C-alpha cells in the first residue's frame, strides 16, 4: 500500500488567513482525493485531484475556498482560504492504489483549528 505523508499534521490558525496542506505519496498515483472530517463526524469528499487537469469539486465546495494543485503524480496541495472557525477540521489526503479503484489509502490527516 502507498505511504502518504501530510504536512502540517496540525496547526492553529487565525481567522481570515489561508493555509496550504501538502500531501506526498511514495509512489505515482493517478487519482488523489481530499476529504474533510469535521469534529465527531464522518468524512466528506471535497474534491478529486488528477494530474494535468483541474480538480473536480463536490457539491458545497468551491475552488476559490479550497484551491488544489496537482503538479505531478506523487504530490498535491489543498489550500483552505480565508479561514473561519467553521473550517476547523481534519483534512485528509487519500489515494487509490489497491486492487479496486474504490480502495483508498489515507494519510494521517492535518488537524486545523481556526480561532
Q: What is the 3-state secondary structure (H, E, C) of 6-63?
A: EECCEEEECCCCCEEEEEEECCCCCEEEEEEECCCCCEEEEEEEECCCCCEECCCCCC
What is d(CA 72, CA 16) in angstroms, rounded to the nearest whole number? 29
- Measured at the alpha carbon of residue 90, what is the angle toward residues 24 and 47, in degrees to the nearest 5? 65
- Residue 57 or 75 having the CB closest to other proteins: 57
Minimum distance of other proteins from residue 105's CB (angstroms): 7
- Residue 102 or 115 having the CB closest to other proteins: 102
Minimum distance of other proteins from residue 87's CB (angstroms): 13
Grid cell of 39 as nine digits:
469534529
- Measured at the alpha carbon of residue 25, what is the angle toward residues 66 and 9, in degrees to the nearest 5? 60
Minimum distance of other proteins from residue 92's CB (angstroms): 6
- Where does this chain bind other proteins (CB under 8 A)? 1, 4, 31, 33, 35-36, 38, 40-46, 48, 58-61, 92, 94, 98, 100-109
Minimum distance of other proteins from residue 106's CB (angstroms): 3
- Residue 77 or 94 having the CB closest to other proteins: 94
- Residue 16 or 84 having the CB closest to other proteins: 84
Amino acid at each position: 500500500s502507498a505511504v502518504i505523508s501530510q504536512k502540517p499534521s496540525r496547526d492553529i490558525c487565525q481567522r481570515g488567513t489561508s493555509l496550504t496542506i501538502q500531501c506526498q505519496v511514495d509512489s505515482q498515483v493517478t487519482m488523489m482525493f481530499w476529504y474533510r472530517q469535521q469534529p465527531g463526524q464522518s468524512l466528506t469528499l471535497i474534491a478529486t485531484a488528477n494530474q494535468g487537469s483541474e480538480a473536480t469539486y463536490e457539491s458545497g465546495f468551491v475552488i476559490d475556498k479550497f484551491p488544489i494543485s496537482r503538479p505531478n503524480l506523487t504530490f498535491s496541495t489543498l489550500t483552505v482560504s480565508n479561514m473561519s472557525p467553521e473550517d476547523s477540521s481534519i483534512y485528509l489526503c487519500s489515494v487509490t492504489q489497491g486492487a479496486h479503484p474504490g480502495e483508498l489509502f489515507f494519510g494521517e490527516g492535518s488537524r486545523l483549528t481556526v480561532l
